[in-house]
Structure 1
Amino acid sequence: MKIFQLRSLTLIILILNSFMFNSCSKEDDYSERDDKSIREYLQKKSLTAQKTESGIYYIITVPGNSQKPDLNSMVTVHYKGYFLDDAVFESSYSGSAPTFPLSGVIKGWQEGLQLFGKGGKGTLFIPSRLAYGNSGVAGIPANTVLIFDIHLINIE
């Protein structure tokens, strides 16, 4: 009986490990694919961008002042979000700039906006795993690279 329980436990552990390995492998595949797609987009558009350790590419056209947000900041931002095919999925420019807690947005924004000073402008190229990952949201498919033109208007 103990041998059967031990074998059953071993089998369960092996199955769980295979799911975890498979999941990590898929994320790695998407990370590599996203990175390649971003680099191809930048090359096609003749753009030069910096890259963070996490994989966000960014271009800062106006650095802004020395005040930068942190995760506890409320930020006011005008932005335009679009895909690698340049199709716009959202823009704040038709109204007033929204204000929100930096901690309440996608990880790509949480990290990327901290690169800008108050008044700064630029573009973030966010890999899917730092955006909506494999779940997606309305109007944004799963595993999709997102691009945002950013104007960081205010930091509180």
Structure 2
Amino acid sequence: MKNLPSFFRPTLLALALATGFGLSACNKESDYTKELRKQEEAAKQADDTAIQAYLKRRNITNYTRTESGLYLVPLAENTSVTEKIKKGQLVTVNYVGRLIGESNENTVFESSSNSRQACGCYTFTAGNQSDPVARAGWQEAILLMKRGDRKILLIPSHLAYGAQPYGIVPVFTPLLYDIEVINVQ
């Protein structure tokens, strides 16, 4: 700035200050975003409590909990297949989605039998995060399964529909999916 004519210096200083303030404003979260993040954090704790209560009511002790908060309960394991499903593979499943709250436990909100496919199944690509049914919880779980496996997935809301209502599923609701992997290509 020393080499610039003196009449440019105030203009450059004003421009630098204005740009700095503008950029710092871009980094601020809106009140709505802050509130939503706060609700999501509270929901994660409430979801884990609800899932633990479901497991306790059902006397289920043979489960695995992943770092994300997803619970998997094995129902049947295909011991003749050793290779787990990989991203990009086409996966066909039979599934039933249920609510797990004490007052609405076992209420079915969707199932593959309603998929309008002759097999009564649902096919999706493993790893496709934009799939309308196979959301983040499914995508994480399916990579831990093999063809022929059947598991119950207890999915916290942040890995399911989160702040978006879905049919009869209220916002921030943990879900249960009974999934059987029929085929992998």
Structure 1 CA distance for aligned equivalents of residues 29 and 113 of structure 2: 47
List 4+ stretches of structure 1 deviating above 6 A: none
1:59 aligns to 2:76 (yes or no): no
1:90 corresponds to = 110
State whether residues 127 and 144 of structure 1, in contact with CA within 8 Å, keep that contact through their aligned partners in structure 2.
yes
Structure 2 CA distance for aligned equivalents of residues 111 and 11 of structure 1: 36
1:24 corresponds to = 37
Please report the RMSD computed on the Cα atoms of aligned residues, expressed in angstroms: 2.7
1:69 aligns to 2:85 (yes or no): yes
Q: Deviation of residue 93 (structure 1)?
A: 4.0
Structure 2 CA distance for aligned equivalents of residues 123 and 78 of structure 1: 12
Structure 2 CA distance for aligned equivalents of residues 126 and 16 of structure 1: 28
1:153 aligns to 2:182 (yes or no): yes
1:99 corresponds to = 123
Structure 2 CA distance for aligned equivalents of residues 79 and 149 of structure 1: 5
Q: Deviation of residue 12 (structure 1)?
A: 4.4
2:51 corresponds to = 38
2:139 corresponds to = 110
Structure 2 CA distance for aligned equivalents of residues 136 and 89 of structure 1: 12
1:81 corresponds to = 97
Q: Deviation of residue 25 (structure 1)?
A: 2.2
Could you list the per-position Cα deviations for residues 96-145 of structure 1 after superposition, in whole angstroms to 9, with x for gaps in the alignment? 12222121220000001111111001100000000011012233222111
Structure 2 CA distance for aligned equivalents of residues 23 and 91 of structure 1: 29
**Residue identity (%):** 30
2:5 corresponds to = none
2:164 corresponds to = 135
Q: Which runs of 5+ in 2 are unaligned?
A: 1-13
1:121 corresponds to = 150
Q: Against the structure 1 CA distance between its residues 75 and 5, is the aligned structure 2 distance closer, same or farther, given a 3 Å change threshold?
A: same
Q: Deviation of residue 27 (structure 1)?
A: 1.3
TM-score scaled to structure 2, two decimals? 0.73
Give the aligned residue type for 1:149.
Answer: D
Q: Deviation of residue 24 (structure 1)?
A: 2.6
TM-score scaled to structure 1, two decimals? 0.85
State whether residues 109 and 167 of structure 2, in contact with CA within 8 Å, keep that contact through their aligned partners in structure 1.
no
Q: Deviation of residue 70 (structure 1)?
A: 2.1
Flag the structure with higher helix content. Answer: 1
